[in-house]
């Protein structure tokens, strides 16, 4: 089997970094796309392409993928992990804030997949993984734009799976609960967000990036070709589900 190549967005830290490292550990050549440089991720992966671009910039995404193909020659896996999750009462959300969440969480995966699709089709085998959220089921009242964007991403996953099945490309989503990352610590950690979410789970601890690695590797596995259009809820048995 040829050496496969994976692209992970939001790879500079947190969940994206763990996904990139895990794929490299399984023998993938990995490219990471993030708004900022990714020195910590690059230090953990021997053969890594660092792409610094905004996932909402169509030209930047396309240019980044051209670099990946120039370096590795092919592409097989796309992991749409980059996202934003501001928390605020609905009445305080501005139209521009709403659009920003939709651009990053929903439009960016569309742009990335559209740019990557010719390469996935040329490879004759592909896996697209979208990182959704268990918040679509728990519906926290201070995250209306985020929940709406992630529910849209699940719909995108299901419809795209139907569209790409004839090409041997599967499309699935992973829905974690609140994961302990540096971004989450800054945005919701200080307000007791981790404790609140943990108390609603059957597994009474905060989810770590490593808790999602086995799910990702299962979804992209060679033997998972019959799994498509699904959202795998990895939320510690949330009491709301």
CB 126 within 8 A of CB 77: yes
* Angle, vertex CA 95, rays to CA 94 and CA 98, nearest 5: 90
CA atoms within 13 A on the CB side of 219: 30
In whole angstroms, what is the distance from residue 80 CA to residue 84 CA?
A: 12
Name the burial class of residue 208, with classes exposed (0-12), middle (13-18) and buried (19+) by CB atoms within 10 angstroms of its CB. middle
Give the Å distances, CA to CA, from 103 to 66, 78, 109, 128, 148. 22, 18, 9, 19, 12
CB 7 within 8 A of CB 65: yes
In whole angstroms, what is the distance from residue 157 CA to residue 138 CA?
A: 20
Number of CB atoms found within 10 A of residue 194's CB: 20
In whole angstroms, what is the distance from residue 106 CA to residue 99 CA?
A: 10
146 carries an active-site annotation:
yes
- Point out the catalytic residue in the list 119, 146, 218, 240: 146
Strands (E), 12-158: 29-34, 48-52, 77-80, 126-131
* Angle, vertex CA 117, rays to CA 115 and CA 123, nearest 5: 130
Provide the annotated active-site residues.
146
């Amino acid at each position: 089997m040829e050496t496969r190549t994976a692209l992970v967005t939001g790879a500079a830290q947190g969940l994206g970094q763990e996904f990139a490292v895990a794929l490299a550990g399984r023998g993938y050549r990995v490219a990471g796309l993030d708004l900022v440089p990714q020195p910590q991720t690059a230090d953990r992966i021997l053969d890594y392409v660092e792409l610094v671009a905004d996932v909402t910039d169509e030209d930047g995404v396309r240019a980044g993928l051209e670099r990946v193909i120039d370096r590795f020659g092919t592409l097989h896996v796309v992991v749409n992990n980059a996202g934003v999750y501001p928390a605020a009462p609905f009445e305080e959300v501005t139209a521009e804030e709403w659009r920003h969440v939709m651009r990053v969480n929903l439009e960016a995966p569309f742009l990335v997949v559209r740019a990557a699709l010719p390469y996935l089709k040329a490879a004759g085998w592909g896996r697209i993984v979208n990182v959704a959220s268990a918040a679509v089921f728990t519906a926290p009242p201070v995250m209306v734009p985020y929940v709406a964007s992630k529910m849209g991403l699940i719909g995108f996953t299901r419809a795209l799976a139907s569209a790409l099945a004839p090409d041997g490309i599967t499309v699935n989503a992973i829905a974690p609960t609140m994961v302990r990352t540096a971004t989450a610590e800054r945005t919701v950690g200080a307000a007791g967000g981790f404790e609140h979410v943990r108390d609603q789970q059957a597994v009474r601890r905060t989810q770590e990036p490593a808790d999602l690695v086995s799910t990702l590797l299962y979804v992209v596995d060679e033997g998972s070709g019959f799994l498509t259009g699904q959202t795998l809820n990895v939320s510690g048995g949330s009491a709301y589900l």
